Amino acid sequence: MHILNKFFLLIVISGSGILYSYQEGFANNGEVRIAYRDYGPKDGKPILLVTGLGAQLTLWPQFLINNLQENNFRPIAFDNRDVGLSTRFSSEPSQFINYLKYYLFIQVESEYTIEDMAVDGISVLDELNIKKAHILGMSMGGMISQVMVANFPTRFHTFTMISSTSSTPTPFNGPKLKVTRQMLKRVKNKDDIDGRINQSIKLFELIGTPGKNYDTPEFRKKMRAYIKRGGDDSGFLRQIAAIIGSKNRKDALKSIKTPTLIIHGDVDPLINVNNAFKSNKLIDNSYLIIVEDMGHLLDLNSYNKFQSDLIIFLKS
């Protein structure tokens, strides 16, 4: 392990008197550097958190991190390649050409694959000398996690998949058109921070919990810090290309023997809930929880609806 690959951060929560600490560093997958954050505690049971499309590791909600720690788990999150502090790539895929191919069912070429991104996650475990962990993947992170569990079955105790799918998105099973349009707006006007925050609010309103107000001072403050940390969203289009350019993972899911918990919102506008039922059928040793009134994003109200089931599953 390289000394320069690790450093520690201490955060004091004002007024609480509580000192939180976590370790940050980089893992290497060949020439690709993957930024990670190890929340600890060191003696907790490791659980790898795999984020979704264009999402930095800081997007994981603190209530999830806290609840896992309270139950003796050690959350470890990382920036997928092409986002946050991890290695960025340089190609500039055309939105128009890729989506024209998408709607014509023509193979989309990508600079890297979901399989490559799965090895990135394994490199984080290797960097931390973790031989076996739990894994929780959300959205695209669920797709990446499927490959990790299928290709590296001895590395995981359990697999939790939230708001994800085994199928490659198509015009028939993909997100609603207005959601797709809003998602693509995030790559525009990279220097207009306030504009990007406004676009994020509109996107969260489309794919999050129905009726939830995301336009709050707290949300705007968090998004400003999020954008400052991660810079531009140029990697977003390359990650989309990796998703729609990938093959269906149905055979991979059929091979999974790791105990699996599948969680999905019944009103998810980005990945339809039918995908959860299909994944449940493909993975023999899997359990399914459909969360009422949950969209594609994870908020505290939705989490409270399955929190106890998740912890019981992880401890079983």
Q: How far is Cα 32 from Cα 139, in angstroms, rounded to an integer? A: 22
Contact at 8 Å (CB) between 152 and 126? no
Reply yes or no: is the peptide bond before residue 171 cis, omega within 30 of 0: no
Strand, coil or helix: 23: strand
The helices-and-strands tally (H runs, E runs) of the chain is 11, 9
Q: What are the chain's domains?
A: 3-315 (3.40.50.1820)
Closest-CA residue to 145 (of 61, 244, 77): 77
Q: Hey, what are 207's tokens? A: 């794919």
pLDDT tens, the chain, 316 aa long: 444 566 555 544 433 334 457 999 999 999 999 999 999 999 999 999 999 999 999 999 999 999 999 999 999 999 999 999 999 998 765 555 666 665 555 666 778 999 999 999 999 999 999 999 999 999 999 999 999 999 999 999 999 999 999 986 655 455 665 566 666 656 556 668 898 899 889 889 989 999 999 999 999 999 999 999 988 888 888 898 888 877 789 999 999 999 999 999 999 999 999 999 999 999 999 999 999 999 999 999 999 999 999 999 999 9
Q: Please work out, in degrees rounded to the nearest 5, the angle formed at the alpha carbon of residue 119 by the alpha carbons of 167 and 313.
A: 65
What pLDDT shows up at residue 235?
A: 87
What pLDDT shows up at residue 272?
A: 92
Contact at 8 Å (CB) between 149 and 159? yes
Contact at 8 Å (CB) between 78 and 57? yes
What pLDDT shows up at residue 180?
A: 63
What pLDDT shows up at residue 276?
A: 97
What pLDDT shows up at residue 3?
A: 41
What pLDDT shows up at residue 67?
A: 98
Q: What are phi and psi of 27, to 5 degrees?
A: -110, 155
**pTM, rounded to two decimals:** 0.88
Q: How far is Cα 292 from Cα 210, in angstroms, rounded to an integer? A: 11
- Residue 49 is classified by DSSP as E
What pLDDT shows up at residue 107?
A: 66
Q: Is 105 exposed, middle or buried (0-12, 13-18, 19+ CB in 10 A)?
A: exposed
Q: Which residues lie below 8 Å from residue 156, measured CB to CB, with a gap of 6+?
A: 132, 133, 134, 135, 148, 149, 258
Q: Hey, what are 146's tokens? A: 């499927």
Task: Measure the CA dihedral 154/155/156/160, to 10°.
Answer: -120
What is the separation, in whole angstroms, between the first and last Cα of the chain?
32
What pLDDT shows up at residue 11?
A: 46
